Structure 1
């Protein structure tokens, strides 16, 4: 409850949360909210300016830009969230096993993580997409294959820290099962760390999805995606800047919301950071 109260008092966190919730709602309800079919072509409206029927104008095929941005939420945010959830689940399970059981299990899992993390993330993701082929599903598979090791390592460190506390050791001595100890004592205190790293990882995954689509490796036409929309508008970025600015602003808005929410979560979950933030504010006021 204390964490919730701190978040409620944080205006930036509430604004970020509202933006994220609103974006997810619009993405889920895209067929009911989008004013037009995002794949419907009207060559007579090619590069048309803004109007009451097309609030953001039309692209090189006369398609509604606003409708394509709304539908672009699905691959750029919703499907990325699914890939993030799967990565966090795999990383959490392996991280808990490594951090709690230690010994040989920890050694084997961490050596696999070392191998996965020894390669640059972008390079390996590109390699996996190159092997599997372009498309949304293959990029999501690449995200899962590359992200789980990072989550496993971070969560394992957190679990090892909390598993050495006195009340956890007492539970082991009294014969409480390992599953109950993990569920009752370790999972609640590590959940904050999982929430923070998940929200921060969401930012990079959204940017990577848009980047791969911009390069032609992600969503394929005629489906809508923000990065692909920017790629389609690059030839007229000076004569029709709104075609690139609209999806670019959508990316900036959502990524910034997740980034600010991650920072607010970290401060709300860690009282020391909260106290230091207040001291910095007092210093700024004094200056």
Structure 2
């Protein structure tokens, strides 16, 4: 209880983290209610209203097909966040399992898992994602798999290091001495004690996942129509950036805001969960 009070106190004092939390909460609310409050149909074209700039009728203007950009951003919030969070969750779960196994058992299993992680980390994230998408083909699920794949080695390395530290503690030896199984030791005693770096890495990686998935959609290798995703909106408006910059401006701002929110909040969590920082 004292530890959690200290955590909340540190987090509350971090103004940047609070700003990040406000951004995150704002976009989560939009993801929930966005599709129900869109002022116009975000999918159906209206060619009588193409390339209209921001106005009282269309706050963010319209695109090359006359669709309201605000409506499309609101509708696309859910999918953009879903891809980022789902990819991070999938990568985190896989990476945590591999990292714990590597750190706890060591020996040949440790060497095998770490060498596989080294191979994956040798490729830039976007290039690895592009290679996977090229094999699997563009779709929302394949984007999630591709982005999650690169998250695995990062989580595995962090968890392995934390596991090695906890495994050396005396109480772990005592638990082994009374006959506790490896499963019980790993999931009841080691995993709860290494959650702090996992939580921080998860929060920070969501921002990277959103950027990567948006980049894939921008290149035409992400989500497919009629699904609305911010990166695809950027791609659709790049041909008209000179005559109608608002088509790319507002989806770009949405991406920047949500990424900044997760980064600020993740940095705040890291400081709050670090026992070396002062209360």
| TM-score, normalised with respect to structure 2 | 0.91
Give me the whole-angstrom Cα distance separating, in 2, the residues matched to 1:131 and 1:67.
Answer: 33
Give me the whole-angstrom Cα distance separating, in 2, the residues matched to 1:76 and 1:153.
Answer: 27
1:22 aligns with 2:26: yes
76, 88, 94: which one pairs with 1:90? 94
* 1:243 Cα deviation after fit: 1.6
146, 163, 169: which one pairs with 2:167? 163
Partner of residue 68, structure 2: 64
Cα-to-partner distance string for 1:192-233 (whole Å, 9 max, x where unaligned)? 100111112112111111111111111223332112212222
Partner of residue 282, structure 1: none
- Gap runs ≥5 in structure 1: 279-287
Cα-to-partner distance string for 1:143-177 (whole Å, 9 max, x where unaligned)? 22232122112211111111111222222223233
59, 72, 78: which one pairs with 1:74? 78
* 1:111 Cα deviation after fit: 2.8
Aligned residues of 1:42 and 1:62 also touching (Cα < 8 A): yes
Moved more, 149-158 or 49-58: 49-58
- Gap runs ≥5 in structure 2: none
Aligned length: 275
Partner of residue 17, structure 2: 13
Moved more, 240-249 or 251-260: 240-249
Q: Which has the higher contact order (CA 8 A, sep 6+)?
A: 2
Give me the whole-angstrom Cα distance separating, in 2, the residues matched to 1:119 and 1:247.
Answer: 28
Moved more, 59-68 or 124-133: 124-133
Partner of residue 108, structure 1: 112
166, 177, 181: which one pairs with 1:173? 177
Moved more, 86-95 or 133-142: 133-142
1:52 aligns with 2:60: no
Moved more, 149-158 or 28-37: 28-37
118, 133, 141: which one pairs with 1:137? 141
15, 35, 44: which one pairs with 1:40? 44
* 1:179 Cα deviation after fit: 2.8
Alignment of 1:111-122 (within 5 A): 111-122=115-126
* 1:84 Cα deviation after fit: 0.9
Aligned residues of 1:24 and 1:78 also touching (Cα < 8 A): no
Alignment of 1:206-285 (within 5 A): 206-272=210-276, 274-275=277-278
| TM-score, normalised with respect to structure 1 | 0.89
Moved more, 9-18 or 177-186: 177-186
